[in-house]
Chains A and B, each alone.
Chain A
Amino acid sequence: MNPEERIERYAELAVRIGANVQEGQEVFVYGIPDHADLVRALTRQAYRAGASYVNVIYGDQHVNRAMIEFGPDSALTYSPEWQKTLASSMTGNALLGTSGNPEPELLADLDGERVGRAFQVEVAEIRRKQHYENSVNWCGVGAPNAGWAQQVLGEPNVERLWELVATCMRLDEDDPVAAWKEHLDRLEARGKALTDLQPDALHYRGPGTDLTVGLLPTARWGSALFTTNSGIRYVANMPTEEIFTTPDSRRAEGTIRSTMPLSLAGRLIRGLEFTFEDGRIVNVDAETGADIVRTQLATVENTDRLGELALVTGESRVGQTKTLYYNTLFDENATCHIAYGAGLEYAFDGEPDEGMNVSNLHVDFMVGGPELEVDALLADGTAIPLIRDEVWQLA
């Protein structure tokens, strides 16, 4: 498969399986100039899928940098009228976003307080409402570029990063669309099997790890396969290898050790280890970068409670590439992970349980590996093996 074919196949997957663009829908593609090749392929594939119009919006973090560095305070949170109209227009339509930061350190020398404040509040509010109503079929995908490749591979080898991404996306299959349908069915079946068990808690055991986390009765286990309020099925992230839920933020006891480095605020945190009591993180240790995590926990409310549990097994394509992508979209699909901070309200049937954590942060860290054992604990205390040797144990 030559690179031109590969990018068209990739875009076709994102359009047809990911966002699942419907005939006559408008499509919104959000990218940055460094993602132009993929953005253009997504545009072509969206028209081929019957889009009535494809709107492409290129953001530019250098322009954002100019605003933070030289703009007035009022610019930082300003939501221009046209941007609000743009966001509102996405209701009932399809959205594709590209990720893969070519310059992760671009804002590193600026005033951190201004960087943190630069946020289009009113636009974000419109998007949050759409999220809550589930009125947009959307998909986020990775867009390889020289800067991202440099980070992952230590050299700007975009072709090699493309090969890795293609593997994660199953582009090597004869019929990637069919392969993805099968893969998503398998994840959905896992989620259903686990939800049907009605477990009261999960128990993680492994080197440096012995943690029990309570679950909530109305929280389901699901995959990244969602359905909009008008009935369009879409996959919000590609690749995806996980089933996940929102745990009871009041019940976590024990210790857990992360098994992969975590990239946070431009730094790498290795050997992260948390101790929980009554749902709260009471101790943070790490080989490097513990101070960053401690500062987060101390300054952002409810960051010290859990928001997500996600289970990934050894057949994960991302995991099989044995690559750290410095990009949550990929890395969280390599192996089992846990997030501290905000819970995910869409994991609930109906209104979220009051045990769901509410916070302004959500940080995933990887805990899976060959030695991790995961059990479901039922209300009567029975332990049912879920994962052994990175293999799924339920029927």
Chain B
Amino acid sequence: MDERLERYAELVVGLGANVQPGQEVFIVPNLEHVDVARALARAAYKAGASYVHVNYTDGHVRHAMIELGPDEALTYAPDYVKTFVESFAGNALIATIGDAEPELMTDLDGERVGRAVPVEVVQIRMQQLMENSVNWCGVGAPNEGWATQVYGEPDVERLWEALAFCMRLDEADPIAAWREHLARLRERGAALDALKPDAIRYRGPGTDLTVGLLPNARWFSGSSTTASGIEYVANMPTEEIFTSPDSRRAEGTIRSSMPLVLSSQIIRGLELTFEDGRIVNVEAESGAGVVRGELDNIPNADRLGELALVTGDSRVGQTGTLFYNTLFDENATCHIAYGAGFPFVFEGEPDEGLNVANTHVDFMVGGPELEVDAILADGTSVPVIRNEEWQLA
């Protein structure tokens, strides 16, 4: 048995999803993630899971549907898939990520690719996120295709080493190291909350964007707690603090600083222009059609749902590696998401400025030249990030 793999699965099950004895565990891998999926299944049973469901998805099956299926197939949500997703409530969920063939869909009609969303299934999952009824964790699963994208060769071992570093598996006690790391992020969030900023301003090459904040939205870090009190870490690795902004207030332009993989297409040089909180223009060097397709077809996809701050001490950032994978890359540097906001970041009821949508897409905006300021109600600017370093106490 591969010791690193078993150690990794143990961390994800024990700290990430924090599987409780007697819970059912749902694992949703891609077909290329069998090794990680199987290790997670073993670790989940060892942690006391009453049953472990593993439901593989296959990009080629999706490709066949978009290429050859009828229009109705694109948005069809089979009953058993709805039942499957409904069953997550009160249980644990682990998703594995790492696209083995990121260019798989590029030969297809971008509009059909964008439309291929089982809307009813997504709604069930969004509802669970709102109710915070699932302890879940998304983690990486190295594979040849992903390694090839990252390194130009299918060096899976090298990708595993980078992932192990990001996941702090080199620490003597990774779970203890993770607890300490999560506490540090929590302190940053508390410091920013204490400022009570009215907005965040981003400045950098091609970027000058001001986004309004909501008074009862807090800055969160990686660890969350379900409605029934189970602590979990929704993404591993995590290096960010984040909040949901006021979806009605965003003015200016922001340019993404790293490529984004969406519907198996790579979007480079994405540039979004905002007026009154709405995206009014989408430009990109490649893949703009996929983004426009999403924004046109999914209500409120054209408003912001998340702002996240990451600094240069990020383990992911320190690898100096572009992972072509949002889970990792969003933890390398600052990012923003269009689409759904997070109801759980609010103290009390979510503000009506919270965006509600059936999608959530993160894109990276950070880098050495990005300056982030907190704008207070009186107009004062307080530096938050300079030269990728945290500026608050």
**Chain A residues close to B by CB (< 8 Å):** 26, 33, 36, 39-40, 43-44, 47-48, 51-58, 60, 62-63, 66-67, 69-72, 74-75, 78, 80-83, 85-86, 89
Whether the pair B50, A54 counts as a contact (CB closer than 8 A) is: no
Q: Which residues of B contact A78 (CB under 8 A)?
A: 50-51
| A26 CB to nearest chain B CB (Å) | 8
B70 adjacent to chain A (CB < 8 Å): yes
Q: Of the 9-residue stretches B78-86, B139-147, B159-167, B308-316, which lies at the interface with chain A? A: B78-86
Whether the pair B51, A75 counts as a contact (CB closer than 8 A) is: yes
Chain B's closest residue to A68 (CB) is B45
| B219 CB to nearest chain A CB (Å) | 37
Selected from A36, A39, A63, the residue in CB contact (under 8 A) with B41 is A63
Given A54-B64, A56-B58, A66-B41, A75 contacting B72 (CB threshold 8 A): no
Please, could you name 5 A-B residue pairs with CB atoms under 8 Å apart, sorted by A? A54-B64, A58-B31, A82-B80, A85-B80, A89-B78
Bound: A44/B67 CA distance, A: 9
Q: Which residues of A contact B42 (CB under 8 A)?
A: 66, 69-70
Bound: A263/B50 CA distance, A: 34
Q: Which residues of A contact B292 (CB under 8 A)?
A: none
Q: 12 new A-B pairs (CB below 8 Å) besides A53-B69, A58-B58, A71-B51?
A: A44-B64, A47-B65, A48-B68, A56-B58, A60-B38, A66-B41, A70-B45, A70-B46, A75-B52, A80-B53, A85-B79, A85-B80
| B29 CB to nearest chain A CB (Å) | 10
9 smallest A-B Cβ distances: which pairs?
A70-B45, A47-B68, A86-B80, A82-B84, A85-B80, A82-B83, A58-B56, A40-B60, A66-B41
| B120 CB to nearest chain A CB (Å) | 14
Q: Which residues of B contact A47 (CB under 8 A)?
A: 64-65, 67-69, 73
B234 adjacent to chain A (CB < 8 Å): no
Whether the pair B58, A40 counts as a contact (CB closer than 8 A) is: yes
Q: Which residues of B contact A74 (CB under 8 A)?
A: 50-51
Bound: A48/B67 CA distance, A: 10
Bound: A72/B79 CA distance, A: 28
**Chain B residues close to A by CB (< 8 Å):** 24, 31, 34, 37-38, 41-42, 45-46, 49-56, 58, 60-61, 64-65, 67-70, 72-73, 76, 78-81, 83-84, 87
Selected from B50, B54, B60, B76, the residue in CB contact (under 8 A) with A53 is B76
Bound: A57/B84 CA distance, A: 13
Bound: A63/B87 CA distance, A: 19
Q: Which residues of A contact B80 (CB under 8 A)?
A: 55, 82-83, 85-86, 89
Chain A's closest residue to B81 (CB) is A82
Bound: A44/B64 CA distance, A: 5
| B252 CB to nearest chain A CB (Å) | 43
Q: Which residues of A contact B60 (CB under 8 A)?
A: 36, 40, 43
Q: Which residues of A contact B49 (CB under 8 A)?
A: 71
Chain B's closest residue to A60 (CB) is B54
Whether the pair A67, B61 counts as a contact (CB closer than 8 A) is: no
Whether the pair B83, A85 counts as a contact (CB closer than 8 A) is: yes
Whether the pair B79, A89 counts as a contact (CB closer than 8 A) is: yes
Bound: A55/B41 CA distance, A: 23
Whether the pair A60, B51 counts as a contact (CB closer than 8 A) is: no
Chain A's closest residue to B27 (CB) is A63
Bound: A63/B39 CA distance, A: 9
| B207 CB to nearest chain A CB (Å) | 42
Whether the pair A40, B52 counts as a contact (CB closer than 8 A) is: no
| B18 CB to nearest chain A CB (Å) | 18
| A316 CB to nearest chain B CB (Å) | 33
Bound: A83/B84 CA distance, A: 8
Chain B's closest residue to A75 (CB) is B51
Q: Which residues of A contact B78 (CB under 8 A)?
A: 26, 53, 55, 89
Chain A's closest residue to B60 (CB) is A40
Whether the pair B61, A40 counts as a contact (CB closer than 8 A) is: yes
Whether the pair B50, A75 counts as a contact (CB closer than 8 A) is: yes
Whether the pair A44, B68 counts as a contact (CB closer than 8 A) is: yes
Q: Which residues of A contact B31 (CB under 8 A)?
A: 33, 36, 58
Whether the pair A62, B34 counts as a contact (CB closer than 8 A) is: yes
Bound: A36/B33 CA distance, A: 13
| A347 CB to nearest chain B CB (Å) | 32
| A123 CB to nearest chain B CB (Å) | 11
Q: Which residues of A contact B41 (CB under 8 A)?
A: 62-63, 66-67
| A17 CB to nearest chain B CB (Å) | 20
Whether the pair A56, B61 counts as a contact (CB closer than 8 A) is: yes
